[in-house]
């Protein structure tokens, strides 16, 4: 049975738990697969290490946490150092190239682009950096279709910000495709 494991990691307040929830929702509600999202975080409201894990499968999912990571998003150097150890051979690592400058070595593909700056300068609001990252993760992992992921984004954000999030998602998706090649 296929089991695909993703981890969204960074600092508390970067919206990574939300990004993980939307990925899992896309898989389980819109893509017709099964998905479990879990998280761990410190007691701080902001800062501190934060991670959100998503398991996607065609069948029932028992263990809800990552055993060997297929795809890792690291939005801080600390998160990259802490969470890249169990990346699988052939897996994929996505980092914010402004914040993660020391890249781990391993038999996986690394994709880097300035995620937060893309949100700030090209989408217009830094706060949607997590959705830019999500768009990129959707493109890099291929676990859910672009359409289903977009549906999940739009059903998860406030109505007043639909266009902003749609733009952020597309920008991340396109950038990752370009960076991948």
Residues that bind another protein (CB under 8 A): 21, 24-25, 28-29, 34-43, 62-65, 67
Nearer to another protein, 41 or 161 (CB): 41
Rounded to a whole number of angstroms, the minimum distance from the CB of residue 110 to another protein is 26
Instruction: Identify whether the C-beta of residue 11 lies closer than 8 Å to the C-beta of residue 48.
Output: yes
Helix axis angle for 129-141 and 16-25, nearest 10°, is 40
Rounded to a whole number of angstroms, the minimum distance from the CB of residue 49 to another protein is 11
Rounded to a whole number of angstroms, the minimum distance from the CB of residue 127 to another protein is 22
- State both tokens at 2: 């296929």
Nearer to another protein, 23 or 93 (CB): 23
Rounded to a whole number of angstroms, the minimum distance from the CB of residue 60 to another protein is 9
Nearer to another protein, 33 or 166 (CB): 33
Beta-carbon contacts of 25 under 8 Å, excluding residues fewer than 6 positions away, are 35, 37, 152, 155, 156
- Expressed in percent and rounded to 5, the helix, strand and coil fractions of the chain are 45, 25, 30
Nearer to another protein, 48 or 142 (CB): 48
């Amino acid at each position: 049975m296929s089991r695909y494991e993703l981890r969204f990691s960074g600092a508390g307040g970067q919206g990574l738990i939300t990004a993980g929830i939307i990925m899992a929702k896309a898989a389980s509600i819109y893509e017709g697969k099964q998905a479990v999202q879990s998280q761990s975080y410190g007691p701080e409201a902001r800062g501190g290490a934060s991670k959100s894990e998503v398991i996607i499968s065609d069948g029932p999912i028992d263990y809800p946490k990552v055993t060997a990571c297929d795809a890792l998003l690291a939005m801080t150097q600390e998160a990259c150092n802490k969470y890249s150890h169990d990346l699988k051979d052939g897996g994929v690592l996505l980092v914010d190239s402004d914040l993660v400058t020391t890249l781990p070595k391993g038999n996986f593909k690394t994709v880097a682009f300035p995620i937060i700056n893309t949100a700030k300068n090209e989408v217009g609001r830094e706060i949607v950096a997590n959705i830019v990252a999500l768009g990129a993760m959707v493109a890099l992992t291929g676990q859910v279709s672009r359409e289903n992921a977009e549906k999940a984004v739009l059903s998860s954000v406030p109505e007043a910000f639909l266009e902003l999030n749609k733009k952020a998602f597309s920008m991340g998706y396109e950038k990752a495709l370009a960076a991948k090649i």
